[in-house]
Amino acid sequence: MNEDTPTASRTDSRLGSAVRGFATGILGLAHAFIIWNATFYLIEMAQAGISGYGWTVLSLPVIVPMIVFAVALLLARRRTLGVFIVTLLAGLGVSAVFWLDTLSFALRNGASLLG
């Protein structure tokens, strides 16, 4: 019985690691999608000629999701699987809301971003 317990816990550990890796990959791709959209919008606006203020405002949604993802990983790395996934989802929500707020600001106040 004692020999079966380490094998079972090792198998559970491998399964947990696989699920963590899968969740990290999928939610990392979701963060990358937000970064990709923000970068594309920044490039499109840069072709129209944006000011320094515009560069600052439109660069933040490219940088913030990277920071949020790294912080969420650091906060949740030693937690249970459920807490890990919820923390990454919360970080994704924060990143998405930040991107949508910035996009809304840029659409409403586009003239202030142009140089």
Q: Can you list the pairs that 20-23 forms with residues at least 24 positions away whose Cβ atoms lie under 8 Å?
A: 20/81, 20/84, 23/81, 23/84, 23/85, 23/88
Residue 9 to residues 22, 38, 48, 83, Cα–Cα distance (Å): 20, 43, 58, 20
pLDDT of residue 2: 55
List the structure tokens of 63: 């940088």
Whether the full predicted model's pTM is greater than 0.75, yes or no, is yes
Give the whole-angstrom CA distance, residue 62 versus residue 37. Answer: 9
- Mean pLDDT, rounded, for 55-59: 93
Domain boundaries, the chain: 23-113
- pLDDT tens digit sequence for 6-27: 665 566 688 888 989 999 999 9
